[in-house]
């Protein structure tokens, strides 16, 4: 028991205590500088939050972002994992290429794609124009309300896809070949093998990938700040960026902490629902 004391102390000081302080701070109002200015306001921050149109805007952007990137990463990740699991020529090289973006800094990736999507010095507009796509040479990819958030989605999927492929590929390699060989002997097609053998056996790994992708997508911050800073006019603002803006830029830490608590509750509820649905699916199978 005494051997656990250092770890428990570290966990308490650096996780439990800050979490409790943050929770209590969400019921206060202060200027973030002087402790003497702290004033207990109860549920006022949460009442104001539910009446704040920009909170609902950020939540809507967050939910849309999570839904799109989750579907894209799961579908593309499973597709590429199945291809790489078949060990085509050069599969180790492609595995490395897919994994490289996940080890790069999100700030570096955001700056890189900001330059690439620039209407003046970027490569995306001229490349699409060379392919015959009209009206894109000087398009404001990150300056338009219609394309700012989709561009961040694209960059995020590019960055996170390799991690999903790595987990899914590891899961595929744990499936016994005897099942697949027996299905082939019985005349099952590749699609039927994938549908009735591979995917059911991959359910636990898929659950882990879905929960991790969902959680990380809800906590998206650095890419948005670097690429658009939530603009134009809140079009790409998500909850973490909205929280940062309220707590640090507008000097209202109590309100910002209330946003953080709501984000925590949302992520927790979504994760619990996903795990419950996955457990129910496994029992049904």
- Measured CA to CA, the distance from residue 217 to residue 197 in angstroms comes to 29
193 falls in which pLDDT band (50, 70, 90)? confident
Q: Are 54 and 242 in contact (CB under 8 A)?
A: yes
**Average pLDDT of span 235-250:** 93
280 falls in which pLDDT band (50, 70, 90)? low
Residue 60 has pLDDT above 70, yes or no: yes
Q: Are 233 and 145 in contact (CB under 8 A)?
A: yes
- Measured CA to CA, the distance from residue 158 to residue 152 in angstroms comes to 10
Q: At 265, give phi and psi (nearest 5°).
A: -65, -40
Q: Tell me the CATH class for 38-284.
A: mainly alpha
Q: What is the pLDDT of residue 281?
A: 57
- Measured CA to CA, the distance from residue 211 to residue 275 in angstroms comes to 8
Strands of the chain, DSSP E: 28-29, 39-40
As a three-state string, the secondary structure of 40-77 is: ECCCHHHHHHHCCHHHHHHHHHHHHHHHHHHHHHHHHH
Low-confidence winner among 92-101, 201-210, 275-284 (lowest mean pLDDT): 275-284
- Measured CA to CA, the distance from residue 8 to residue 264 in angstroms comes to 23
Q: Is the pTM of this model over 0.95?
A: no
Share of the chain above pLDDT 70, in %: 97
88 falls in which pLDDT band (50, 70, 90)? confident
- Measured CA to CA, the distance from residue 92 to residue 104 in angstroms comes to 19
pLDDT, tens only, 132-142: 777 777 788 89
């Amino acid at each position: 028991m005494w051997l656990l004391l250092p770890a428990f102390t570290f966990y308490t000081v650096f996780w439990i205590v800050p979490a409790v302080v943050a929770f209590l701070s969400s019921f206060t109002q202060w200027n973030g500088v002087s402790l003497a200015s702290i004033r207990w306001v109860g549920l006022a921050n949460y009442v104001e939050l539910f009446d704040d149109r920009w909170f609902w805007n950020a939540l809507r952007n967050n939910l849309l972002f999570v839904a799109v990137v989750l579907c894209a990463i799961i579908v593309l990740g499973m597709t590429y994992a199945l291809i790489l699991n078949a060990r085509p020529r050069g599969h180790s090289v492609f595995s490395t290429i897919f994994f490289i973006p996940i080890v790069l800094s999100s700030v570096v990736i955001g700056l890189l794609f900001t330059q690439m999507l620039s209407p003046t010095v970027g490569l995306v507009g001229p490349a699409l124009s060379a392919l015959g796509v009209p009206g894109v040479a000087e398009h404001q990819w990150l300056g338009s309300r219609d394309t700012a958030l989709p561009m961040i989605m694209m960059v995020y999927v590019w960055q996170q896809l390799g991690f999903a492929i790595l987990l899914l590929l590891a899961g595929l390699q744990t499936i016994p070949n005897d099942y697949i060989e027996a299905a082939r002997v019985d005349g099952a097609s590749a699609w039927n093998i994938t549908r009735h053998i591979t995917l059911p056996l991959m359910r636990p790994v898929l659950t882990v990938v879905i929960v991790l992708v969902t959680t990380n997508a809800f906590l998206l911050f650095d890419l948005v700040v670097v690429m658009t800073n939530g603009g134009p006019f809140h079009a790409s603002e998500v909850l973490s960026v909205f929280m940062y803006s309220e707590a640090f830029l507008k000097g209202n830490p109590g309100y910002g902490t209330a946003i953080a608590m709501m984000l925590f509750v949302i992520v927790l509820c979504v994760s619990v629902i996903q795990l419950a649905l996955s457990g129910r699916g496994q029992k049904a199978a």
